[in-house]
Amino acid sequence: MDFSNFLVMRQEIGVIALFVILLIYDIFAAETKAMRYFRPLACILTGAATLLGFLFPGHEAEAFGGMYVTTPVTMLMKNILMLGTFTVFLQAGEWLRKGDVLIREGEFYTITLSTLLGMFLMISAGNFMLLYIGIETASLPAACLAAYNKYKEKSAEAGAKYVLMATLASGVMMFGLSYLYGATGSMYFDDMVPALAVQPMTVLGFVFFFSGLAFKISLVPFHFWAPDVYEGSPTATTAYLSVVSKGAACFVLLITLHHVFGAMTDIWYPMMWVISVLTIIVGNLFAIRQKDIKRFFAYSSVSQAGYIMLGVMQDSPAGLTATIYYVLVYLFSNMAAFGVITAVENATYRTDIAAFDGLSKSNPRLALMMMIALFSLGGIPPLAGFFSKFFIFASAAEAGDYVLVFIALINTVVSLYYYLLIVKAMYINQAADDAVGRIRTDRYNMTSLILCTAGTLITGIASCVYGYIGSVGF
Amino acid sequence: MIPMEHYLIVSSIMFFVGLYGFLSRKNLLAILISIELILNSVEINFSVFNRYLFPEHMEGMFFSLFGIAISAAETAVAIAIIINVYRVTQEIDVRHIDKMKY
C-alpha cells in the first residue's frame, strides 16, 4: 500500500492529531491541577493549526483512487472552518468553567474537533459514500453538543430535536443517493458526471439529496429545527452550528451542484431560485418578532443562508469567490456578535433581548463591538458585510438574474430594521433596575472579540482578501 | 427470479411508511423506529441496484454495509439523548416536550 496518500490529507490528519492529544490529556489530567493548562493548550494548538493552514496553501491532489480530492479551494474552505472552530474554543472556555459542565470540560473540545473532521471529509469527498460518512461524522457529535447542558430541560429538548431531524435528513439524502446510484452505476463524482442525464430517476434522486443538505444549511422548507435547537443549545454550540456547520454544508452544496449536477442546471436553478427567495423572506419576517437573542440569531442566520445561496447558484468564478468570501465575513460578524452574547450571558444568565437594554452605558466597548457586528450583518458600507453582499449580488447580476437581486436588496432593508432593534435596545432603551454593571470578560473571549471585530473591519477594506480568495479559486 | 421492480416497490413503501411514522408518532422511541425503517429501505435499494444492474462492482453493497454501521451509531446517540430527555422531564411524549415551541 502506498502510504504517501496520507500526506495529501494533512489537514484531516492535523485535526485527528489535535483530537488525540486533547483526548489523552483530558483522560490523564482529569481532576488534577494539570487541567488548568488544558484550555490554553487547546486554544494555542487550534490557533497554530489555523495559522499553519493559511500559511501553507496546498496543491491539487487525489488520494485513495479518487475517493478523496483536495484542491487549493477546498483547503481554503477548511482553513476558514478551522478559524471558526478556533473562535468557538476561545468563547466556550468561560462557560465550561461553570457549574455542572466543569467535569466535562475536555469533552467539549474533542467532540467539536470530531464534528470538524466530518466537515473536512465532506468537503474533500470525491465519492458520495465518503460525503455521507462525513455528514454523519459531523452531525452526530453536533447532537451531543446541543444536549451538552444535560440537566437543563431546554438543552435536552434541543438535542433530541436535532438528532431526530438530522437522522431523518440523512435518511432522505441516502434514499436520493440510492436512486442516483441506480441511474448511473457509480458513487464516484467523476464517473457519475457523464452518466447523469435529465431523467425522472436522477431528478428524484437529486431532489432527495438536496433536501438532506438543505436541512444542514437550514434553508426554508427545512428550517423548522433551527430556532428551537439554537435557542436550547449552549451558546458556544449555537455559534458553532450557525457558522461552522452551516458554512461547511454551503461549501459542499457549492461543490456538488457544479461538479456533479452541472448537467442538470435547468432543473435545479429554478428550484434554488424559489428556495433562496423563500429563505431570505421567511428568515427576515420571523426574526422581527423574536424576543430571545439566540432565537433571533437563528432566524437571522436562516436569512443569511438565503443570501449565500445567491452565490452558490452561479456557475462562475465570481460566484465561487463571492460565496467563500461571504462565509468568511459572516463568520467574523456572527462570531463577534456571539462573543458579546456569551459575555452577557455569563454575567446575567439571561439570553432575552431585554438583557441588552442600556448596555452602552454599563459596557460601552461590548456594545460598540455588538453594533459593529450587527451593522456588518445588515450590510452597512464601511464594514465587511457590505462588500460581501455587494459581491454576492454582483455575481448574481452578472448571470442576468436581476429579479432575484432586486428581491434580495429589498430584504436587506428589512434585515437592517431588525438588526437595529438590538442596537436600539443597547443605545436608547434605559437599563432595568436590576441590570448588571460592568461585565468582566476573560482574556480568551476578549481575544476572540478583538479578532472578529478586526476581521469585520479589515476584510472589507483590504481588497487583498477578496483578491486572494479569487486567485486561489482559479 | 423476482423482478427488480418488486424490491423497489417494497423499499418505497417502507420509506414512506417510515416518513409517515416520523410525522405522526408521538413517542420519541417510535419516531426513532420510523427512522430505522427509512434507513433500511435505503439499504434494500442499494443492494438491489447493485445485484441486478451493476453486479461487476460492489459499491452498492459497501454503501449498505457502511449505512448499517452508521445507523447503529445514530441509534446509540439518539437513545442516549432520549434517555437524557426522560431523566430531565420524566416524559418521552413529544406533545409534552414543547418548552421552546411558543
pLDDT tier at A382 (50, 70, 90 boundaries)? confident
Q: How far is CA A425 from CA A60, A422, A432, A436, B48, in A?
A: 49, 5, 11, 15, 60
Rounded to an integer, what distance in angstroms lies between the CA atom of residue B10 and that of residue B8? 5
Nearest 5°: the CA angle A85, A117, A169 is 100
Q: Is residue A439 scored above 70 in pLDDT? A: yes
Indicate the residue of A160, A172, A185 with minimum beta-carbon distance to B54. Answer: A185
Do the chains contact at B85 and A156, CB–CB below 8 Å? Answer: yes
Q: Which residue has the higher pLDDT, A312 or A436?
A: A312
Count H helices, E strands: chain B? 3, 0
Q: Return all residues near A376 (Cβ < 8 A) that are at least 6 apart.
A: A329, A332, A333, A336, A383, A384, A385, A386, A456, A460
Q: What is the pLDDT of residue A326?
A: 93
Residue A218 φ/ψ region, left for φ over 0, alpha for ψ in the -120 to 50 degree band, beta for the rest: left
Q: How far is CA B43 from CA A146, A174, A176, A258, B6, in A?
A: 29, 9, 12, 27, 15
Q: What is the pLDDT of residue A16?
A: 94
Percent above pLDDT 90 for chain A: 58
Tell me which H or E stretch contains A70: strand A68-70
From A138's Cα to the closest Cα of chain B, the distance in A is: 12
Taking residues A151-169, what's their average pLDDT? 91
Please report the number of interchain residue pairs, chain A to chain B, with beta-carbon separation below 8 angstroms: 120
Taking residues B70-92, what's their average pLDDT? 92
Q: What is the pLDDT of residue A419?
A: 92
pLDDT tens for residues A35-66?
888 889 999 999 999 999 888 877 888 888 88
Q: Return all residues near A225 (Cβ < 8 A) that are at least 6 apart.
A: A161, A162, A165, A215, A218
* Substitution target from A135, A174, A292 for chain B, most B beta carbons within 10 A: A174
Do the chains contact at A181 and B42, CB–CB below 8 Å? Answer: no
Q: 3-class DSSP state for residue A401? A: coil
Q: Which residue has the higher pLDDT, A403 or A6?
A: A403
Q: Is residue A132 scored above 90 in pLDDT? A: yes
Nearest 5°: the CA angle A165, A167, A169 is 70
Mean per-residue pLDDT over chain B, rounded:
91
Q: What is the pLDDT of residue A386?
A: 92
- A192: which chain B residues are within 8 Å (Cβ-Cβ)? none
Q: What is the pLDDT of residue A373?
A: 93
Set of cell numbers at residue A339: 462573543
pLDDT tens for residues A311-367?
999 888 888 999 999 999 999 999 999 999 999 888 888 888 888 888 888 888 999
pLDDT tens for residues A210-253?
999 999 899 988 888 999 999 999 999 999 999 999 999 999 99
Taking residues B2-19, what's their average pLDDT? 93
Rounded to an integer, what distance in angstroms lies between the CA atom of residue A133 and that of residue A286? 33
- Contact residues, chain A to chain B, C-beta under 8 Å: 129, 132-133, 136, 140, 143-144, 147, 150-154, 156-160, 163-164, 167-168, 170-172, 174-175, 177-179, 181-182, 185-187, 227-228, 231-232
For A94-108, A209-223, A268-282, which range has the lowest pLDDT when averaged over its residues?
A: A94-108
**Cβ atoms of residues A79 and A53 within 8 Å:** yes
Q: Is residue A474 scored above 70 in pLDDT? A: no
The CATH classification of domain B4-96, taken from the options 3.90.480.20, 3.10.20.440, 3.40.190.290, 1.10.287.3510: 1.10.287.3510
For A19-23, A117-121, A239-243, A264-268, which range has the lowest pLDDT when averaged over its residues?
A: A264-268
Q: How far is CA B77 from CA A11, A22, A140, A164, A191, in A?
A: 27, 22, 7, 10, 34
Q: Is residue A410 scored above 80 in pLDDT? A: yes
- A150: which chain B residues are within 8 Å (Cβ-Cβ)? 84, 87-88
Do the chains contact at B74 and A168, CB–CB below 8 Å? Answer: no
Q: What is the pLDDT of residue A141?
A: 93
pLDDT tens for residues A387-398?
999 999 999 998
CB-based burial, A51-78: b 16+ in 10 Å, e otherwise: eebeeeebeeeebeeebbbbbebbbbbb
Single out the residue of A123, A115, A95, A117 nearest to residue A39, CA to CA: A95
- A187: which chain B residues are within 8 Å (Cβ-Cβ)? 59, 63
From A158's Cα to the closest Cα of chain B, the distance in A is: 9
| Residues found in chain B | 102
Do the chains contact at B22 and A168, CB–CB below 8 Å? Answer: yes
Tell me which H or E stretch contains A63: strand A61-63
Report which DSSP code applies to A233.
S
Q: 3-class DSSP state for residue B92? A: coil
Taking residues A275-288, what's their average pLDDT? 92
DSSP A90-159: HHHHHHHTSGGGGGGHHHHHHHHHHHHHHHHHHHHBSBHHHHHHHHHHHHHHHHHHHT-STTSHHHHHHH
Residue A438 φ/ψ region, left for φ over 0, alpha for ψ in the -120 to 50 degree band, beta for the rest: beta
Q: What is the pLDDT of residue B65?
A: 93
**Cβ atoms of residues A124 and A74 within 8 Å:** yes
pLDDT tier at A433 (50, 70, 90 boundaries)? low
Q: What is the pLDDT of residue A388?
A: 92
Q: What is the pLDDT of residue B16?
A: 94
* Substitution target from A130, A135, A178 for chain B, most B beta carbons within 10 A: A178
- A224: which chain B residues are within 8 Å (Cβ-Cβ)? none
Single out the residue of A264, A247, A225, A223 nearest to residue A78, CA to CA: A247
Do the chains contact at B38 and A172, CB–CB below 8 Å? Answer: yes
Provide the CB-side half-sphere exposure for A195 (13 A, CA): 16
Do the chains contact at A181 and B59, CB–CB below 8 Å? Answer: yes
Rounded to an integer, what distance in angstroms lies between the CA atom of residue A312 and that of residue A253? 8
- B99: which chain A residues are within 8 Å (Cβ-Cβ)? 153-154, 157, 232
Rounded to an integer, what distance in angstroms lies between the CA atom of residue A257 and that of residue A324? 15
Q: What is the pLDDT of residue B11?
A: 94
β-bridge partners, A127: A188
Q: 3-class DSSP state for residue A292? A: strand
* Substitution target from A164, A187, A202, A207 for chain B, most B beta carbons within 10 A: A164
Q: 3-class DSSP state for residue A68? A: strand
Q: CA A236, A242, A248, A249 torsion: positive or negative?
A: positive
Q: Is residue A168 scored above 90 in pLDDT? A: yes
pLDDT tier at A1 (50, 70, 90 boundaries)? low
- Contact residues, chain B to chain A, C-beta under 8 Å: 15, 18-19, 22, 28, 31-32, 35, 38-39, 41-42, 45-46, 49-50, 53-54, 57, 59-60, 62-63, 66-67, 70, 73-74, 77-78, 81-82, 84-85, 87-89, 97, 99-101
Q: What is the pLDDT of residue A435?
A: 66
**Cβ atoms of residues A80 and A247 within 8 Å:** yes
What are the helix (H) ranges across A147-288? 153-184, 189-195, 200-217, 225-232, 235-240, 246-259, 265-288
Mean per-residue pLDDT over chain A, rounded:
89
The phi and psi torsions of A466 (rounded to 5 degrees) equal: -65, -40
Do the chains contact at A153 and B88, CB–CB below 8 Å? Answer: yes
DSSP A165-190: HHHHHHHHHHHHHHHHHHHHS--BHH
Q: What is the pLDDT of residue A272?
A: 92
Percent above pLDDT 70 for chain A: 99
